[in-house]
């Protein structure tokens, strides 16, 4: 299952920090609702959400990739490599 989370604010002038916070809360609510496994990437986003800080777009990309790799590893399994 692939999901893309974004802010509902389509305004080009809205601060990226505000858009991030809204998208992060939607992601975390979905992860909790679906009882998704806790990956390093997902935990990183939880920590930034708890602290109320914006990690920057580069760190968000890193966390997203970390999550993707963990999910793919679980789906494929290390034995098949």
Residue 23: inside a domain, yes or no?
yes
- Number of structural domains (the chain) is 1
Q: What is the pTM assigned to this prediction?
A: 0.81
53 within 8 A of 21, measured Cβ to Cβ: no
**Residue 31 belongs to domain spanning:** 17-80
Q: Is 80's pLDDT higher than 70?
A: no
Q: Is 66's pLDDT higher than 90?
A: yes
Instruction: Tell the residue number behind the tokens 């914006």, with chain if given.
Output: 54
Residue 29: inside a domain, yes or no?
yes
Query: Distance (Å, rounded) from C-alpha 28 to C-alpha 59?
Result: 17
pLDDT, tens digit, 9 for 90 and up, residues 40-56: 999 999 999 999 999 99
Residue 6: inside a domain, yes or no?
no
């Amino acid at each position: 299952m692939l999901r893309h989370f974004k802010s509902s604010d389509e305004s080009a002038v809205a601060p990226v920090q505000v858009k991030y916070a809204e998208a992060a809360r939607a992601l975390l609510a979905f992860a909790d609702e679906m009882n998704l496994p806790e990956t390093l990437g997902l935990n990183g986003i939880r920590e930034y959400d708890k602290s109320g800080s914006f990690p920057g777009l580069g760190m968000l990309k890193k966390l997203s990739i970390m999550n993707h790799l963990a999910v793919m590893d679980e789906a494929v399994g290390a034995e098949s490599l």
